[in-house]
Amino acid sequence: MADEADKRNGTEGASPAERLQPDPPGYFEGESMTRRRAFTVAAQGLGGIAGAAIVLPAVGFAVAPIFHRGKERWEAVGPVGDFVEDTYRQVVFTETVGIGDAGKVTAYVRKSSKQLGEKPGEIVAVSNRCAHLGCPVRFVEAAGNFICPCHGGVYDFQGKRIGGPPVRPLDQFQARVRNGQVELGPRYSVTSQLEPVRARDPGEFTGGVWEYLYPPRPSTFPPPSGG
């Protein structure tokens, strides 16, 4: 569709004021920008699209593991009869597959204790990963406490922090009984009141406002409901 400007040829018909201020070179009447500018914008836009086509997949590839949750894994660690209420039994099982011994973790397992006000008939599996920076803690039977060798973190029998730099109780593993065997599953973290939340890394607080400051990661499993 020819508009008013197309009907004019050059500066013909322009007002005297328009004639005194000629358009810049390359500017055609009726066009909103010079051709040079149009080409510049087009070339830069295409260059940007081409760059993004290379960079975005590469960045997505590198960042994708943040949003990937692996397969839920359960492993039998021994018959129910092996575990008692008043002390822990140490078991080792594979948490991360494919990397040999480096993927193994240690858990301290016992039956739930009525004396401590826990729901009876359940299995409690406490991770040995210190909630400070991830060193391996050890259950000291004489003291009834978990003690971390690195910076002196101390946890009570249930895994609640009672001393040192840790910021929350020890993590736990989901546990169930199948065919008389105790099976351990995904890791989860607990608040200071031992309420289950999604697994956090060591050094990260749980509960209250901390649930927003250290948001749950999509790569972790939902905590067991009901606790």
Partner 1 sequence: MKLDSLIPAPLRKPAKPGEGNGATAPAPADLKTAPPERPSDAARLGERAKEAPSDVLAWVDQRTAASGFLTGMLFRKVPKGTNWFYTLGSATLFAFIVQATTGVFLAMFYTPSTTQAYASISHINNDVFLGQFVHGMHKWGSSVMVILVFLHMGRTFFFGAYKYPRELNWVIGVVLLILTMTMAFTGYLLPFDQRSFWASVVGININGTGPVVGPYLSDFLRAGPELGATTLSRFYAIHMLLVPGAIIALIGAHMYLVVKLGTTAPPWVHAKKPKNAEPVAPLEAGVEGNGNGAGPRS
Give the shortest CB-88-to-partner 1 separation in angstroms: 22
Q: Does 27 bind partner 1 (CB under 8 A)?
A: no
Query: What does the DSSP assignment read for the chain?
Result: ---HHHHS-TTTT--HHHHHSPPPTT--TT-SS-HHHHHHHHHHHHHHHHHHHHHHHHHHHHHGGGG-------EEEEEGGG--SSS-EEEEEESSTTSGGGGEEEEEEEE--TTTTPPTT-EEEEE-B-TTT-PBPEEETTTTEEE-TTT--EE-TTS-EEESS-SSPPPEEEEEEETTEEEEEEEEEE-TT--EES---TT---STTHHHHSPPPTTSPPPPS--
Give the shortest CB-51-to-partner 1 separation in angstroms: 17
In which region does residue 30 sit, left (phi positive, over 0), alpha (psi from -120 to 50) or beta (all else)?
left
Residues 198 and 215: their CA atoms lie apart, in Å, by 9
Region of 17-25, 39-47, 108-116, 200-208 interacting with partner 1 (CB under 8 A)? 200-208
Give the shortest CB-190-to-partner 1 separation in angstroms: 16
Q: Which of 76, 135, 147, 194 binds partner 1 (CB under 8 A)?
A: 135
Q: Which of 14, 133, 154, 177 binds partner 1 (CB under 8 A)?
A: 133
Q: Does 200 bind partner 1 (CB under 8 A)?
A: yes
For residue 17, which phi and psi values (nearest 5 degrees)?
Answer: -65, -40
Region of 9-17, 18-26, 39-47, 213-221 interacting with partner 1 (CB under 8 A)? 213-221
Q: Does 213 bind partner 1 (CB under 8 A)?
A: yes
Q: Which of 201, 211, 224, 227 binds partner 1 (CB under 8 A)?
A: 201
- When the beta carbons of 27 and 214 are compared against partner 1, the nearer one is 214
Interface positions, 46-75, toward partner 1 (CB under 8 A): 62-63, 65-66, 68-70
Contact assessment for residue 118 and residue 130, using Cβ atoms and an 8 Å cutoff:
no
Q: Which of 95, 124, 169, 197 binds partner 1 (CB under 8 A)?
A: 95
- When the beta carbons of 27 and 221 are compared against partner 1, the nearer one is 221
Give the shortest CB-95-to-partner 1 separation in angstroms: 6
User: Which spans of this chain sit near partner 1 (rule: CB under 8 A)?
Assistant: 62-63, 65-66, 68-70, 95-96, 98-100, 102-103, 133-135, 199-204, 213-217, 219-220
